[in-house]
A and B are shown apart, each in its own frame.
Chain A
Amino acid sequence: MSQYDVVVIGAGPGGYVTAIRAAQLGLKTAVIEDSKIAGLGGVCNQWGCIPSKAVLKNATVLHTIKHADKFGIAVEGVTADYSKAIDRSKKIVDTQAKGVGFLFRKNKIDLIEERGRLAGKGKIKLEPSGKEITAKHIILATGSRPRVFFDMKADGKVVFTAKEFLSMRDLPASMIVLGAGAIGMEFAYVLQNYGCQVTIIEMADRLLPKEDPEISAEIEKAFKKLGVKFHTQCKVEKVDQKADGVTVHVTMADGSKQTFEAPRLLSATGITPNSQNLGLEETGVKTSPQGFVEVDEWMRTSVTGIYAIGDVTGKFPLAHVASAQGIACIEKIAGHHPQPLDYGKMPSATYCEPQVASIGLTEPDAKAKGYDVKVGKFPFRPNGKAQGIGEIDGFIKFVVDAKYGEILGIHMVGPEVTEILGEASLAMNLEATAEEVDVTVHAHPTLSEVFKEAALAAVGQPIHM
């Protein structure tokens, strides 16, 4: 029977990062990952963050070529084989997965390619081998999977979730996208650019409903221009899933009934935790009614020695949050003094064009919390770099507390804003105020000058307005 200090169940961005840190801290570590379920890197690498970025790049390249005339470049006879985009993404996935495997070997982490199930305190039963291993600390990093409603079945023929979508090698003439969150929006952008007519159906009153309303408005403008059809405040009554397509029955915002038909449908309506078949109940690990594992600030579950990180905790289902939770969790276990996570300062990004990136409170949320809110906003249009690269749509918006200039939230829509997001995170985590951002010299010409100007707009008068 193998004995470990730490066993992590799941090799996604939460689990594998945690395992590496555990090994670095001198703990004997194993990771259990059933390659039939996901593989190294988890959903993030296999059919999430990584392959979608590859496919999105294809879409933006295609978009640039289609609009090459604005650079005075005439391009004729363009053909775009979507299956090549998928092939390219698969290669990247394999490279990344191998990278994780390499890091495991380098850090002497045992990879156990089975399924793990809690078998009492400190014990894990492996399936199918039936072997048992013990660990002083067990970290559940089993993640989540797409949540599919309306009795649909994600068959990869008519109905798709992100997982099936990233293996779909051909494109239909049209596709319905249920849900206008990050995943729905990114794939809608890919499809529309490749010539597949997209119709987005969203329950909330706007696209990207978790973002600041002004961001949603800007992205709606862009999607309209792109040719994406979308309907908000829709109540889906039922979906007929047939062999050759779907019919979606919707009660529209105005109360009228409408049906939408398409050969395929992408369901992007949230996640559900992978907390079944883990032996949680038998071991006494408490879960929420939705099945998320309940954890405290150091990711400890209700059972001593068992921890949970990432999507399965339902805290903030993003890869980087899972990694951060895992690092805090394992450093605490190792007796270090990590900082507790501030879930109010977690960045999030959406990779359609223009990109969307944000952190912290939206303007309405900040007001609802009682802050005396000041807003600083600056568009990309006057920015020299934006003009140069030909991407002038979008803006950066600072939401600050009037009294001390405390940055409550930063909301960005525009070119490469996901790469400016790091500066926003740093500013908020270091508790810089809008003033410090303003007095920080930003290189010219860069898109990040807009970031500085937006901060300045919040505390004074921007220069280039």
Chain B
Amino acid sequence: MATNVLMPKMGYDMTEGKILRWLKQEGDAVTKGEPIAEIQTDKVNIEIEAFAGGVLARILHGADEDVPVGEVIGIIAEPGEKVEVPAGSAGKRTAAETGVIGGTMNEAGSGEGGEAVAFEAGAGSGAKAHATVAPGACIEEPSRVAQANADARQAAAGAQAPVRGEGERVKASPLAKKIAADQGVPLAEVPGTGPGGRIVKRDVEGYKPVAQPAAFVPTAAVTEVPLTRMRQAIARRLSESKQTAPHFYVTKAIDMTEALAFRAQVNQTLTGAQKVSVNDMVIKAVAKALKAFPNVNASWAEDKIVQHDRISVGMAVALPEGLVVPVINDAYGKTLSQIAETAKDLASRAKENRLRPDEFSGGTCTVSNLGMFDVESFTAIINPPESAILAVGSTIKEPVVRNDEVVVRSMMRITISSDHRVIDGALAAQFLGEVKRLLESPLLLVV
């Protein structure tokens, strides 16, 4: 019996993956568990293993193709089995989702009908099936359509002054409104050049959707850098986060003198990977504070707020081509030295592109540390669907006042970025206060 090989979903926000190369060719025998293809996701390169043994009967998407999650990329069959190239799961998937997607497309203002994906069945063996997509066809997932619009908004905002503030009335001439309605131009996204920013005919006629900002014309003096999947993911996800989550920021200066002394003391007895870093202590403190403030350990879910039982702290790891956020699962239940070991392991494997999908998903809060770059303080963008991220600066010796005396202490600033839909100012301040309390009395981290 034939088994479809699907583009796997590696992480909640993965929508498509790129096939780097096939490790098997059509007709090759495969055994269950054997790697058959290598794919690239937003974050990592991974191998796809065969879920069944047999023969790789069909390859439906070749190397360098971007394939939506869940789409059939190949078929494993019994030797000699006659394989029906699926008018297949991809076609069904699209049809099944057309209703939902169509709705989204309409909201997005597209007048195009959703033409389903048509598969051209390979007539002979080895013929590669491919998808043909009508212009405006609804092959994209709803989230990506929404994202495309968000991208357009953001790009437009980048290209010129923001089109208009949230909730600001869209002023447009009657003629402009008629043309926009007729041609499906989203008026809210059209910059107005008439008196007082009013949208007039020329603005609607001159409006270019999504593509416009991308149509940057390079001059001889620029170097074009192709976007990696990771760069695309960073651009997409962080833009979305900053645009949808209302960020606000609270900073506290934390006296790390005791924590440094504590760390020096425990590291005398700990060895190797167990040695504790300042960041490990911050992660532990954050995990404990999240336990005390479950309403920070939460996510915005449009019609409700979801509080998570698990406490998993992500840590931003810089890579040459971008960054990833591996997650220390159950950071609350781990001891400091376990956190130290886990963090080192995750960081080193992240740098080698060898993280497993479950290792960079499921975080409930993130710590981003630029302390090693001599940074006093900074603000970070929330890593959705989390509601808070802590930006950790360097620990710096500073004169501070203690009991009316100026003394030298090792100070570190943490700035928490919070999603105001979930976390209010007082809550953020209290939560950060708890982190500060834990770090300033570091023995609390181990009790």
Asked if residues B178 and A432 are in contact (CB atoms below 8 Å), the reply is no
* B176 contacts chain A at the CB level, 8 A cutoff: yes
Q: Which residues in chain A, 392-426, are within 8 Å of chain B measured between CB atoms?
A: 403-406
* A205 contacts chain B at the CB level, 8 A cutoff: no
Asked if residues A433 and B175 are in contact (CB atoms below 8 Å), the reply is yes
| B202 → chain A closest CB, angstroms | 10
Measured between alpha carbons, how far is A40 from B165 in the docked complex, in Å? 47
Asked if residues A431 and B201 are in contact (CB atoms below 8 Å), the reply is yes
Q: Which one of A339, A405, A432, A435 contacts B173 once the chains associate, using CB atoms below 8 Å?
A: A432
Return the chain A residue nearest B175 by Cβ.
A431
* B111 contacts chain A at the CB level, 8 A cutoff: no
Asked if residues A435 and B195 are in contact (CB atoms below 8 Å), the reply is no
* A436 contacts chain B at the CB level, 8 A cutoff: yes
Interface residues on A, range: 10 to 19
Q: A430-B173, A433-B178 are in contact. List 6 more A-B contacts (CB 8 A).
A: A404-B179, A404-B182, A430-B174, A431-B173, A431-B200, A431-B201
Asked if residues A431 and B195 are in contact (CB atoms below 8 Å), the reply is no
The 3 closest A-B pairs by CB, nearest first: A431-B173, A431-B175, A404-B178
Asked if residues B174 and A432 are in contact (CB atoms below 8 Å), the reply is yes
Residues in B whose Cβ lies below 8 Å from that of A339: 194-195
Give A contacts to B, CB under 8 Å: 339, 403-406, 430-433, 435-436
Q: How many residues of B contact A (CB 8 A)?
A: 11
Measured between alpha carbons, how far is A432 from B175 in the docked complex, in Å? 6
Q: Which residues in chain B, 149-178, are within 8 Å of chain A measured between CB atoms?
A: 173-176, 178
Measured between alpha carbons, how far is A339 from B176 in the docked complex, in Å? 17
Measured between alpha carbons, how far is A339 from B196 in the docked complex, in Å? 10
| B192 → chain A closest CB, angstroms | 11
Return the chain B residue nearest A427 by Cβ.
B174
Residues in A whose Cβ lies below 8 Å from that of B201: 406, 431
Measured between alpha carbons, how far is A406 from B175 in the docked complex, in Å? 6
Q: Which of B178, B195, B201 has the most CB of A within 10 A?
A: B178
Chain B 319-339, CB within 8 Å of chain A: the 1/0 string?
000000000000000000000
Measured between alpha carbons, how far is A202 from B175 in the docked complex, in Å? 39
Residues in A whose Cβ lies below 8 Å from that of B182: 403-404
Asked if residues A404 and B194 are in contact (CB atoms below 8 Å), the reply is no
Q: Which one of B174, B176, B200 contacts A435 once the chains associate, using CB atoms below 8 Å?
A: B174
Measured between alpha carbons, how far is A403 from B195 in the docked complex, in Å? 25
Measured between alpha carbons, how far is A430 from B198 in the docked complex, in Å? 10
15 A-B Cβ contacts within 8 A?
Answer: A403-B182, A404-B175, A404-B178, A404-B179, A405-B175, A405-B178, A406-B175, A431-B173, A431-B174, A431-B176, A432-B173, A432-B174, A432-B175, A435-B174, A436-B174
Measured between alpha carbons, how far is A435 from B178 in the docked complex, in Å? 11
Return the chain A residue nearest B199 by Cβ.
A431
Residues in A whose Cβ lies below 8 Å from that of B176: 431
| A452 → chain B closest CB, angstroms | 15
Chain B 181-194, CB within 8 Å of chain A: the 1/0 string?
01000000000001
Residues in B whose Cβ lies below 8 Å from that of A405: 175, 178
Residues in A whose Cβ lies below 8 Å from that of B173: 430-432
Measured between alpha carbons, how far is A431 from B171 in the docked complex, in Å? 12
Measured between alpha carbons, how far is A424 from B92 in the docked complex, in Å? 57
Residues in A whose Cβ lies below 8 Å from that of B195: 339
Residues in B whose Cβ lies below 8 Å from that of A433: 174-175, 178
Return the chain B residue nearest A407 by Cβ.
B175
| A26 → chain B closest CB, angstroms | 22
| A447 → chain B closest CB, angstroms | 24
| B184 → chain A closest CB, angstroms | 14
Residues in B whose Cβ lies below 8 Å from that of A430: 173-174
| B211 → chain A closest CB, angstroms | 25
| B194 → chain A closest CB, angstroms | 7
Measured between alpha carbons, how far is A431 from B177 in the docked complex, in Å? 10
Residues in B whose Cβ lies below 8 Å from that of A431: 173-176, 200-201
| A100 → chain B closest CB, angstroms | 28
Return the chain B residue nearest A339 by Cβ.
B195
Return the chain B residue nearest A340 by Cβ.
B193
| A438 → chain B closest CB, angstroms | 11
Measured between alpha carbons, how far is A42 from B82 in the docked complex, in Å? 95
Measured between alpha carbons, how far is A431 from B200 in the docked complex, in Å? 7
Residues in A whose Cβ lies below 8 Å from that of B179: 404
| B207 → chain A closest CB, angstroms | 15
Measured between alpha carbons, how far is A184 from B175 in the docked complex, in Å? 37
| B190 → chain A closest CB, angstroms | 14
Residues in B whose Cβ lies below 8 Å from that of A435: 174
Measured between alpha carbons, how far is A393 from B308 in the docked complex, in Å? 81
Return the chain A residue nearest B178 by Cβ.
A404
Residues in B whose Cβ lies below 8 Å from that of A404: 175, 178-179, 182
| A211 → chain B closest CB, angstroms | 24
Measured between alpha carbons, how far is A431 from B175 in the docked complex, in Å? 5
Return the chain B residue nearest A406 by Cβ.
B175
Measured between alpha carbons, how far is A261 from B198 in the docked complex, in Å? 58
Measured between alpha carbons, how far is A433 from B195 in the docked complex, in Å? 18
Q: Which of A405, A431, A432 has the most CB of B within 10 A?
A: A431
Measured between alpha carbons, how far is A432 from B195 in the docked complex, in Å? 14
Return the chain B residue nearest A404 by Cβ.
B178
Return the chain B residue nearest A405 by Cβ.
B178
Measured between alpha carbons, how far is A430 from B174 in the docked complex, in Å? 8
Measured between alpha carbons, how far is A395 from B174 in the docked complex, in Å? 26
Measured between alpha carbons, how far is A432 from B200 in the docked complex, in Å? 10
Measured between alpha carbons, how far is A403 from B173 in the docked complex, in Å? 16
Measured between alpha carbons, how far is A405 from B201 in the docked complex, in Å? 13
Return the chain B residue nearest A431 by Cβ.
B173
Measured between alpha carbons, how far is A433 from B179 in the docked complex, in Å? 11
Residues in A whose Cβ lies below 8 Å from that of B174: 430-433, 435-436
| B63 → chain A closest CB, angstroms | 48
Chain B 33-76, CB within 8 Å of chain A: the 1/0 string?
00000000000000000000000000000000000000000000
Q: Which residues in chain B, 201-258, are within 8 Å of chain A measured between CB atoms?
A: 201
Measured between alpha carbons, how far is A406 from B204 in the docked complex, in Å? 14
| B140 → chain A closest CB, angstroms | 31
| A407 → chain B closest CB, angstroms | 8
Return the chain A residue nearest B173 by Cβ.
A431
Measured between alpha carbons, how far is A339 from B194 in the docked complex, in Å? 7
| A356 → chain B closest CB, angstroms | 26
| B269 → chain A closest CB, angstroms | 69
Measured between alpha carbons, how far is A403 from B178 in the docked complex, in Å? 10
Return the chain A residue nearest B182 by Cβ.
A404
Measured between alpha carbons, how far is A404 from B204 in the docked complex, in Å? 13
Measured between alpha carbons, how far is A431 from B182 in the docked complex, in Å? 16
Measured between alpha carbons, how far is A430 from B182 in the docked complex, in Å? 19
| B440 → chain A closest CB, angstroms | 53
Measured between alpha carbons, how far is A396 from B175 in the docked complex, in Å? 21
Residues in A whose Cβ lies below 8 Å from that of B194: 339
Measured between alpha carbons, how far is A217 from B294 in the docked complex, in Å? 84
Measured between alpha carbons, how far is A400 from B195 in the docked complex, in Å? 23
Return the chain B residue nearest A436 by Cβ.
B174
Return the chain A residue nearest B179 by Cβ.
A404
| A148 → chain B closest CB, angstroms | 41
Q: Which of A404, A405, A435, A436 has the most CB of B within 10 A?
A: A404
Measured between alpha carbons, how far is A435 from B181 in the docked complex, in Å? 15
Residues in A whose Cβ lies below 8 Å from that of B200: 431
Measured between alpha carbons, how far is A7 from B326 in the docked complex, in Å? 68
| A272 → chain B closest CB, angstroms | 34
Measured between alpha carbons, how far is A430 from B175 in the docked complex, in Å? 9
Measured between alpha carbons, how far is A404 from B175 in the docked complex, in Å? 7
Measured between alpha carbons, how far is A328 from B181 in the docked complex, in Å? 32
